[in-house]
A and B are shown apart, each in its own frame.
Chain A
Amino acid sequence: AQKVTQAQTEISVVEKEDVTLDCVYETRDTTYYLFWYKQPPSGELVFLIRRNSFDEQNEISGRYSWNFQKSTSSFNFTITASQVVDSAVYFCALSEANSGNTPLVFGKGTRLSVIA
C-alpha cells in the first residue's frame, strides 16, 4: 500500500529564511512517481514537480529545490530565501505505476506561513 507522511503540520518562518518541508513515503513498487503541489489561499492546487523513482538527481528551480533520497524514502522540498508569496499549504503525493488504476495519494500537507 502506498502512503505519504508529512510530519510538519505547520511551519512559520520570517521572510528570507530558508525552509525545508519534509516528505516520507511508503511503497512496495519499484516504479513510482513523487509530486509536490502548492495550494495557495485561493484553493487551487498548483503542480510544482514530478520525479520518477529511477531519477534520484536533485533538482533546483529558482528558489525551489528538491532532495530525493530513496535510501530514506524521502522527497524533501526546500525554499531558499522565502517570500510572503510562498505562504501556502504544500502537498507531497505518490503514485505507483504498476498497480492498475493509479490514483495520486497525498500527504496531509504542510501549512507554510512566511512572515514579513
Chain B
Amino acid sequence: ETGVTQTPRHLVMGMTNKKSLKCEQHLGHNAMYWYKQSAKKPLELMFVYNFKEQTENNSVPSRFSPECPNSSHLFLHLHTLQPEDSALYLCASSQNFLPGLAGESSYEQYFGPGTRLTVT
C-alpha cells in the first residue's frame, strides 16, 4: 500500500463503547496528525506527533487519547464519546513538522481517506 491509510473507514459506536482508529503512513514521514472535520466547521487540528513525540494538543477532551508507537503508525483511542463527537476523523503525515527542514516541499501534509464516526 502507498500513501496514508486509515481503518476503519466507517464506525458506529455507542457512548459507552471503547474503540480505536488506526492510521498508517507508507511515505517515510516523521510527523503525523489527527484532524476532526465536522459538518459546517473548519478542519480542527487535534494532535500532532513529531518523531513519535506529541508536540501539539489543541485542548482536546480526554475522551480522545492518541498513541504513536512509531513514526509510521498513529492511533486515536476513543471512550465514552458524545453524539457531538460524530465527525470525519482525518489522519495526515508530513516529512517534517516545520518548514525549512530538508526543504520546504517536505512540509506538505498528506491525508488519509478518513474515518466517518457516528456516536449514537
A11 contacts B by Cβ under 8 Å: no
Q: Which residue of B lies closest to A3 (CB)?
A: B42
Number of A-B contacts (CB under 8 A): 59
Q: Is the CB of B41 within 8 A of A104?
A: no
Q: Which residue of A lies closest to B113 (CB)?
A: A44
Q: Which residue of B lies closest to A47 (CB)?
A: B108
Residues of A within 8 A of B109 (CB): 47, 104
Chain A interface size range: 20 to 34
Q: Which residues of B contact A (CB under 8 A)?
A: 33, 40-43, 45, 48, 55-56, 58, 88, 90, 92, 97-100, 104-105, 107-114, 116
Q: Is the CB of A106 within 8 A of B99?
A: no
Known: A43-B88, A44-B113, A108-B41. A101 touches B56 (CB 8 A): yes
Q: Is the CB of B56 within 8 A of A35?
A: no
Q: Is the CB of B104 within 8 A of A50?
A: yes
Residues of A within 8 A of B41 (CB): 108
With beta carbons under 8 angstroms apart, the residue of A42, A91, A97 that contacts B43 is: A91
Q: Which residue of A lies closest to B3 (CB)?
A: A44
Q: Which residue of B lies closest to A48 (CB)?
A: B108
With beta carbons under 8 angstroms apart, the residue of B33, B42, B55, B104 that contacts A33 is: B104
Within 8 A of B (CB), among A29-79: 33, 35, 37, 42-47, 50, 52
Distance of A82 Cα from B99 Cα, bound (Å) = 32
Q: Mark A101-115, 1 if CB is under 8 A from B, else 0.
A: 111111111000000
Residues of A within 8 A of B111 (CB): 37, 44-47
Distance of A86 Cα from B63 Cα, bound (Å) = 37
Least CB distance from B42 to A in Å reads 5
